[in-house]
Structures are given as C-alpha cells and as structure tokens.
C-alpha cells in the first residue's frame, strides 16, 4: 500500500503525480484493503493530517504536502496474490503509448480494477508490470465481460482532460463496439433513445433497466452482417451509461449472445458447446483528441478470436443474408 497499512503512524510526501487529486480519492487508491467507511471516519476525526493540520476530504493535494496517516490494519491477501496474477494471467496488448497515456486491448473476463470481491484487475496488473511508472489511472471503464480499447492516463493532467472528454456524453470521444445479437436485425441504422435506471436486486447485485424515470441514453446501431438467427452490429455510444448497449439491445428483443445478466440464458447454455464461451461485446474502435497535444487519434482493437471464430461458424452453418461493405475489413483486421 505504498507506505501505509502498518501498525504505526505513516508520513508521506506528496509528489507531482498526485498533484490536484482529492485527499479522499488518494486514500482510497493508496490504502488498498481498508474499507472506505473507515477512511472517511479517520478523515472526519482528524487522524489524517496534511501539513500538520486538519483538512476536509475534498482537499486537493499539492506537491510537497506532508501527509500523516494513523495506524491502519489491512487484510494480508492482496499483495502477493495480485503480483502473481499480474505476472501469470494477464496479457495486455498495447495499442498506443506515449508519455501521457496508454491504450490497451483489455482481455475479456478481467475486471478493470480490483474491488467488490475481485482482488485483481487490469490497473493492478499494469502497476505490477510497470513498477517504475509513477502514475497509472483508468480514464474510463469497461465491464468485466467486455474486451477492447481501454485508456489509461500516465499523467494527472492527461487523465483530467480524458475524464472531461468522457463527461461530454459522446461529443469528446467516438466509441464504437462490435456486438453479436440473437435475431434478424433489419434496419441499416437505428437510433435508440431509451432512458436507463440503475437499481439493486434483492441479492445486492447492480442492474439497469429501461425506465421513464432513468437518465437519457442514446445508442446508434448499424447492421454489419445478418444470418437467419443472429446479427453482427456496430454500436456507437452517444452517452456512457452503465450497461447501456446490453440493456438497449435486450429491451429491443435482441439480447447479446453470451450475456449472463440481460441475455437469453437458455440460448447461452447452447452457445458454449457451439464455440462461443464469452459475451459477444467488444470495444473495437475509439477516436478522440490527444489529451495534451490535441492531435486526432484513432485506436482499434481487432475482433478477438473467441468472437471471430463464432462468426466463422455462423458462416459455415448458414448463408449470410446481409454483409456491410466494411465487414471483411473489420473481420480481417489484425
């Protein structure tokens, strides 16, 4: 935990990489394994001091600040476990990298960060694999089951600009996904503007549904290929709501193949022995402006083998009813 998490008082000096970060967010990152409720309690009680004085949780850290942390007890499991998993279980192909940001092709089945019962995630793996890196923070998120383009800030200024870009609800970044759905999708282009509402199930699991009381949400779907019982679509996000593509498609009656939250569960059972062992949703392309230079960037993550092979199986089993002009370019991009 970078110097904290022992049975004595810890003193830290804030470096350039944490400049401008809120104190509570800094503590959440650096005090891995400590419940947030406990961190906010020691903030309120004044046990955390900056430059020997009490400060609010919203205080913005400055380079050279002296931070005092009281004794904190952590669970023992995380460090060795994350280190081993980072070395052995994750391949993180780099799509683009410079001094400001890192763009990777996130594998399916791995969370972007540890938490909520998950001890290991992409960001932990990156930090373990790059111990010399002073700053690595997620610019946005992808669902654990979704693969594809993921942006990571390497400087706080770059991260702040990227966060602002994603808050523009699609205006700052052109995010496009590839998705296989059940059914014969007929429209070449379809705009879906169905409001989405978050809720918790009785077991405490986070879910989303179409609801008039929800937040405005907009997805543009374009048909890339169609077979008698399935379709391949491009989904362009105009807003960035939780599970937006998954819920919009399920609401329309075209659930994503392999989706274990909103999909056709009986169909999913049949798909695994047929060769599709994952959710068929992939963040394949993102176009945006570089956070520091403003130069246009386009990052592409090729369609994963797990989805590509199933498309080949569909072609082998039944004849395509429709294929967009750019379909082969998408399928063959490596």
Q: So which residues are the catalytic ones?
A: 143
Helix axes 78-88, 122-129, angle to 10 degrees: 80
Strand duo 147-153 + 281-289: pairing: parallel
Give backbone dihedrals phi and psi of 314, rounded to 5 degrees, phi first.
-60, -45
Give the DSSP letter of residue 310. H
Residue 237 CA, distance from chain mean position = 14
Closest by CA to 183, choosing from 233, 244, 253, is 253
Closest by Cα among 90, 204, 85, 61 to 150: 90
C-alpha to C-alpha distance for 244 and 45, rounded to whole angstroms:
40
Q: Looking at the DSSP assignment, which residues form a beta bridge with residue 286?
A: 175, 299
Q: How many residues would you count in the chain?
A: 334
β-strand 219-226 against 101-106: which pairing, if any?
Answer: unpaired
Among candidates 295, 282, 287, which has minimal Cα distance to 172? 287
**SS3 state of residue 189:** strand
Backbone angles phi, psi at 94, to 5 degrees: -90, 125
Compute the distance between CA of residue 189 and CA of residue 198 in angstroms, rounded to an integer.
27
């Amino acid at each position: 935990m970078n110097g904290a998490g022992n049975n004595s008082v810890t003193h830290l000096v804030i470096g350039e990489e944490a400049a401008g970060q809120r104190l509570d967010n800094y503590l959440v990152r650096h005090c891995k394994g400590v419940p947030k409720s406990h961190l906010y309690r020691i903030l309120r009680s004044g046990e955390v001091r900056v430059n020997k004085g009490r400060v609010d949780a919203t205080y913005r850290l400055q380079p050279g600040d002296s931070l005092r942390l009281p004794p904190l007890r952590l669970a023992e499991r995380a460090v060795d476990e994350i280190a081993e998993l980072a070395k052995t279980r994750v391949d993180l192909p780099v799509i683009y990298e410079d001094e400001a940001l890192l763009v990777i092709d996130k594998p399916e089945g791995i969370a972007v960060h540890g938490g909520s019962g998950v001890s290991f995630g992409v960001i932990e793996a990156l930090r373990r694999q790059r111990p010399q890196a002073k700053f690595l923070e997620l610019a946005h998120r992808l669902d654990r089951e979704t693969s594809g383009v993921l942006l990571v800030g390497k400087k706080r200024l770059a991260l702040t600009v990227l966060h602002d870009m994603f808050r523009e609800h699609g205006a700052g970044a052109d995010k496009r996904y590839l998705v296989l759905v059940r059914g014969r999708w007929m429209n070449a282009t379809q705009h879906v503007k169905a409001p989405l509402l978050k809720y918790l199930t009785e077991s405490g699991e986070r879910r989303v549904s179409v609801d008039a009381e929800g937040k405005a949400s907009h997805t543009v779907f374009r048909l890339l290929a169609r077979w008698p019982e399935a379709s391949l679509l491009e989904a362009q996000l105009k807003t960035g709501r939780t599970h937006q593509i998954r819920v919009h498609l399920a609401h329309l009656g075209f659930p994503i193949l392999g989706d274990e939250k909103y999909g056709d569960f009986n169909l999913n059972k049949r798909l695994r022995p047929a060769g599709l062992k994952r959710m068929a949703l992939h963040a394949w392309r993102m176009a945006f402006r570089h956070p520091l230079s403003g130069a246009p960037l386009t990052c592409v993550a090729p369609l994963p083998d797990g989805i590509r092979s199933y498309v080949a199986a569909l072609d082998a089993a039944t004849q395509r009813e429709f294929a967009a002009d750019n379909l082969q370019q998408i399928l063959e991009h490596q």
